[in-house]
């Protein structure tokens, strides 16, 4: 049944609006965000959608179709974090922080549905947050820029949900342009839409390995980066060039030096990748992706056997220009750049070979560069 008819079924009248916001994949620039560096995500053609209708009162009633039609309800005058129906906290947090910055929200009936796979690393959470913020905005009572929307949604994730993430996911979901990736400077949030090269397709392969308890490892990496920056006398590793690093490297503890080497080189690779994209230089773009994976595996040490296996299988396929882990690592997905004419065979072969080696049939997503959040109608 369509989202619209589900809405009518639940609430007895059709929705007034349908709003959408996409998930994302990061093409290159991993673990650079908290070092004030560059990232290059692309919005994918999988999105959260919310059908909505204004209510005459101050209540928000929600139905989550992907959670078996679970319902949750709150008052805009007393927004609380809840322990059951935790999915509802994403909408609650958005409403709370919008009101905190002065928005005059309207009560709404909402039905939520998404085809961004949940918990796979394609950021179903950011898609939901940005979709919720855009939905409230569609019913008026305030104006907010897309950059502010992204910042507010990041705050929801960090402070209302208690999940530490950078700004990338919300930023790309709010600001993406169809056919483009987005270069984001995480230090000052300046950005540039970069046309996706012609002739190749982005394919995401899910190892199905879930990250589990990696918060401590993530925090260790962050601390090591701070240590490297301190030893080099800069605020952020982003301020170090590969040449600068060469001068300092030998004086640093070996592990700290390795972490810094990844961040500094990865940051430079993002800009090289952007230059390659602008020239439609697919081989160079692919090579940079491959180098990114090697650096994440050897210097940053955030890969795992499943990710390495998926990358190895991908690179054996005809037409594979580049393959790397995407996201924080320790599990999750790989991102691959595949020549258009080889995509169908790539998808079939990688899935078959990964299953043969691991016994697990991996979900594989062929992704089109999509537009950021919008009111569909």
**Nearest-5° angle of CA 331, CA 116, CA 186?**
65
- Distance (Å) of CA 25 to CA 72, 174, 181, 326: 30, 14, 10, 7
Select the binding partner of residue 137 from Mg ion, ligand ADP, none (C-beta < 5 to 8 A, by kind): none
- Supply 349's token pair: 């072969």
CB of 126 to ligand ADP, least distance (A): 6
Q: What is the largest CA-CA distance in the chain?
A: 69
Draw the binding track, 182-201, toward ligand ADP (x: CB under 6 A; -: no contact). --------------------
Contact stretch for ligand ADP (CB under 6 A) within 86-94, 146-154, 174-182, 278-286: 86-94
For 143, other C-beta atoms within 10 Å of its C-beta total 8
CB of 302 to ligand ADP, least distance (A): 16
Q: Which residue's CB is nearer to ligand ADP, number 67 or number 142?
A: 67
To the query of whether residue 77 is one of the catalytic residues in this protein, the response is no
Pick one of 26, 32, 106, 123: the residue that binds ligand ADP (CB under 6 A).
123
Q: Report if residue 90 touches ligand ADP, rule: CB under 6 A.
A: yes
Q: Which residue's CB is nearer to Mg ion, number 124 or number 135?
A: 124
Q: Which residue's CB is nearer to Mg ion, number 153 or number 229?
A: 153
Q: Report if residue 67 touches ligand ADP, rule: CB under 6 A.
A: yes
Q: How far apart are CA 68 and CA 313, in angstroms?
A: 36
Q: Report if residue 87 touches ligand ADP, rule: CB under 6 A.
A: yes
Q: Report if residue 7 touches ligand ADP, rule: CB under 6 A.
A: no
Catalytic residue among 45, 66, 77, 169: 169
Q: Which residue's CB is nearer to ligand ADP, number 56 or number 68?
A: 68
Select the binding partner of residue 134 from ligand ADP, Mg ion, none (C-beta < 5 to 8 A, by kind): none
Q: Report if residue 74 touches ligand ADP, rule: CB under 6 A.
A: no
Q: Report if residue 64 touches ligand ADP, rule: CB under 6 A.
A: yes
CB of 278 to ligand ADP, least distance (A): 30
Contact stretch for Mg ion (CB under 5 A) within 66-74, 117-125, 137-145, 203-211: 117-125
Q: Report if residue 86 touches ligand ADP, rule: CB under 6 A.
A: yes
Select the binding partner of residue 66 from Mg ion, ligand ADP, none (C-beta < 5 to 8 A, by kind): ligand ADP
Q: Report if residue 291 touches Mg ion, rule: CB under 5 A.
A: no
Q: How far apart are CA 180 and CA 200, in angstroms?
A: 13
Q: Report if residue 125 touches ligand ADP, rule: CB under 6 A.
A: yes
Pick one of 32, 120, 125, 137: the residue that binds Mg ion (CB under 5 A).
125
Q: Report if residue 82 touches ligand ADP, rule: CB under 6 A.
A: no
Please, are residues 4 and 50 in contact by the beta-carbon 8 Å criterion? no
Q: Which residues are catalytic?
A: 169
Q: Which residues bind ligand ADP (CB under 6 A)?
A: 48, 64, 66-67, 86-87, 90, 112, 114, 118-125, 128
């Amino acid at each position: 049944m369509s989202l619209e008819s589900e809405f009518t079924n639940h609430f007895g009248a059709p929705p007034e609006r349908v709003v959408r916001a996409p998930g994302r994949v990061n093409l290159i620039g991993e673990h650079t965000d908290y070092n004030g560096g560059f990232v290059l995500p692309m919005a994918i053609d999988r999105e959260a959608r919310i059908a909505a209708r204004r209510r005459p009162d101050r209540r928000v009633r929600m139905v989550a179709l992907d959670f078996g039609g679970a319902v949750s309800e709150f008052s805009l005058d007393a927004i609380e974090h809840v322990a059951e129906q935790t999915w509802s906290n994403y909408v609650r947090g958005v409403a709370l922080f919008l009101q905190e910055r002065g928005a005059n929200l309207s009560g709404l009936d909402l039905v939520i549905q998404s085809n961004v796979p949940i918990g796979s690393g394609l950021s179903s959470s950011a898609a939901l947050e940005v979709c919720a913020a855009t939905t409230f905005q569609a019913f008026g009572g305030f104006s907010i820029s897309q950059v502010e929307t992204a910042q507010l949604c990041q705050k929801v994730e960090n402070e209302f949900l208690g999940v530490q993430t950078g700004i990338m996911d919300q930023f790309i979901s709010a600001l993406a342009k169809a056919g483009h990736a987005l270069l984001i400077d995480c230090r000052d949030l300046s950005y540039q839409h970069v046309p996706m090269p012609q002739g190749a397709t982005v394919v995401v392969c899910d190892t199905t390995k879930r990250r589990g308890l990696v918060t401590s490892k993530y925090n260790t990496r962050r601390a090591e980066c701070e240590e490297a920056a301190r030893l080099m006398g800069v605020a952020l590793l982003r301020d170090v060039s590969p040449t600068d690093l060469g001068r300092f490297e030998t004086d640093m503890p070996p592990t700290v030096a390795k972490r810094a080497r990844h961040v500094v080189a990865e940051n430079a690779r993002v800009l090289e990748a952007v230059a390659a994209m602008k020239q439609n230089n697919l081989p160079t773009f692919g090579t940079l992706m491959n180098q990114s994976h090697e650096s994440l595996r050897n210097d940053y040490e955030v890969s795992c056997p499943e990710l390495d296996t998926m990358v190895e299988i991908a690179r054996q396929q005809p037409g594979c220009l580049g393959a790397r882990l995407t996201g924080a690592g320790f599990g999750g997905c790989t991102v691959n750049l595949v020549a258009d004419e080889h995509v169908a065979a790539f998808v079939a072969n990688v899935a078959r070979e990964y299953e043969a080696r691991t016994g697990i049939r991996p979900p594989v997503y062929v992704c089109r560069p999509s537009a950021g959040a919008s009111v569909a109608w």
